[in-house]
Amino acid sequence: MSEVSLPRVCFATLLTTDSYLHGALTLAASLRETGTKYKIICLVAEGQLSKPALERLSSAFDRVVSVPVLDTHDYANLALLGRPDLGATVTKIAVWSLTEYDRVAFLDADTLVLEPIDSILENAADGSGSGGRPNGGMQNEGLLAAAPDLGWPDCFNSGVFVAKPSESTHANLLKMLATQGSFDGGDQGLLNAYFNDWSRADHTHRLPFSYNTTSTSFYTYAPAFARFSSDIKVVHFIGPHKPWKHQRLITGYIMGNSKGLSKFVEKWWHIHDAHVSFWSPGILFDKLIALSLSDSFKPVTEEAAEEVVAIGSHAMDDSWKRDGSDYLSVDESRATANDDWGSFTPAPDFMLSSGSSSPTRSTGSPRSS
């Protein structure tokens, strides 16, 4: 009997710190729940994750690939973004080095898959373009499809995209990182600078927004959310608040219970509890309260949440009530950037040496200049 050979494609995510572990595990479980026929791999920043975290990843993913850690250390632009913790996300460009695959569908660890999405690995632009334009109208090769970013829709959001790995694209991205950096200090600024004509390319390069529905859309365009929310295939919990960063019972509240997001936060917890761990990555307190309230966990109510908040929590940041934004001011973001669960391992000291073609690892010795 001959085996049916699958195309050389896969889903991938990236972890640069233990603090996103439950995000990655829940993402993988959500993708498996859709019955995907493709492999799911996890890129891990070399030397950054604990042994227990790596063990969990090895059993949840088909493959764990260690990749060199990169970091912009560009605190000025990261401050503009309001996320000082995102410098190491440029490690993501390792996706283009995975030349054993023809296509890689990348999903951030803070995404949750709700519906089957295998088709993005099958139907995404193949680079030839449908309108007869070479490479579908894009100057640089390597990006097959992405969805717009809500903050600046001529940019794509780099939390979900389909890439065509290639040595030369990878080398070009490393070079751009070393010579120009990233305009937002993270991967999205770099990738949008490299693939800067994405918004003018043929439609085959554009993923529907339902493949990367960023959580801010729930309150920036509520009527569209009401109209299209049943189409959402991938929800992306952007911003500093993540489901796993708060106790279960108050997550929906913290992340905007009244704004439509809570059902997706509930879904995240449902998949987390069923496949990753019964225990919250936060403290157990929330689960105990939930058990005492009902036989099964009920959706969060504002009153219940308020009560828990009143009792006390590490997650008492109410900044979302003030500005309704996912991107906080730098000070607010700093206050929430570090988790208080899991072992947060700071990235080692990497610096971009100007003029060199690739970012270099600094040695333990003091910098000479």
Could you list the residues that contact ligand GLC (CB under 6 A)?
A: 86, 89, 108, 157-159, 184, 186-189, 238
Asked if 110 touches Mn ion (CB under 5 A), the answer is: yes
Distance in angstroms (rounded) separating the CA atoms of residues 162 and 107 = 9
Question: For residue 365, with 0-12 CB atoms within 10 Å meaning exposed, 13-18 middle and 19 or more buried, which class applies?
Answer: exposed
Question: For residue 212, with 0-12 CB atoms within 10 Å meaning exposed, 13-18 middle and 19 or more buried, which class applies?
Answer: buried
Distance in angstroms (rounded) separating the CA atoms of residues 86 and 67 = 17
Helix (H) or strand (E) holding 129: none
Smallest distance, ligand GLC to C-beta of residue 81, A: 6
Smallest distance, Mn ion to C-beta of residue 242, A: 9
Residue among 135 and 188 whose Cβ is closer to Mn ion: 188
Asked if 149 touches Mn ion (CB under 5 A), the answer is: no
Residue among 206 and 248 whose Cβ is closer to ligand GLC: 206
How would you list the strands of the sheet with 111-113, edge to edge?
A: 111-113, 234-236, 213-214
Point out the residue whose Cβ comes nearest to Mn ion. Answer: 108
Residue among 182 and 257 whose Cβ is closer to ligand GLC: 182
Smallest distance, ligand GLC to C-beta of residue 189, A: 6
Distance in angstroms (rounded) separating the CA atoms of residues 325 and 332 = 12
Residue from 110, 148, 116 nearest 34 by CA: 116
Provide the H-helix boundaries in 229-360: 248-254, 262-271, 285-293, 302-311, 319-323, 330-337
Residue among 110 and 326 whose Cβ is closer to Mn ion: 110
Smallest distance, ligand GLC to C-beta of residue 89, A: 4
User: CB–CB of 87/72 below 8 Å?
Assistant: yes
Smallest distance, ligand GLC to C-beta of residue 278, A: 29
Residue among 18 and 110 whose Cβ is closer to Mn ion: 110
- What are the backbone dihedrals phi and psi of residue 53, each rounded to the nearest 5 degrees, phi first? -65, -45
Residue among 89 and 336 whose Cβ is closer to ligand GLC: 89
Smallest distance, ligand GLC to C-beta of residue 48, A: 16
Smallest distance, Mn ion to C-beta of residue 236, A: 6
Point out the residue whose Cβ comes nearest to ligand GLC. Answer: 186
Smallest distance, ligand GLC to C-beta of residue 353, A: 22
Asked if 317 touches Mn ion (CB under 5 A), the answer is: no
The binder of 187, among Mn ion, ligand GLC, none, by C-beta within 5 to 8 A per type, is: ligand GLC
Residue among 239 and 282 whose Cβ is closer to Mn ion: 239
Pairing assessment for the beta strands 9-15 and 360-361 based on DSSP bridges:
unpaired
Residue from 142, 121, 107, 160 nearest 6 by CA: 121
Residue from 322, 319, 321, 314 nearest 338 by CA: 314
Asked if 239 touches Mn ion (CB under 5 A), the answer is: no
Q: How many residues are listed for the chain in this entry?
A: 369
Q: Which segment (65-73, 78-86, 108-116, 343-351) binds Mn ion by CB under 5 A?
A: 108-116
Asked if 108 touches Mn ion (CB under 5 A), the answer is: yes
The binder of 184, among Mn ion, ligand GLC, none, by C-beta within 5 to 8 A per type, is: ligand GLC
Residue among 108 and 266 whose Cβ is closer to Mn ion: 108
The binder of 213, among Mn ion, ligand GLC, none, by C-beta within 5 to 8 A per type, is: none
The C-alpha torsion from 247 through 251 and 255 to 257, rounded to 10°, is -150
Distance in angstroms (rounded) separating the CA atoms of residues 366 and 369 = 9
Q: Which residues contact Mn ion (rule: CB under 5 A)?
A: 108, 110, 159
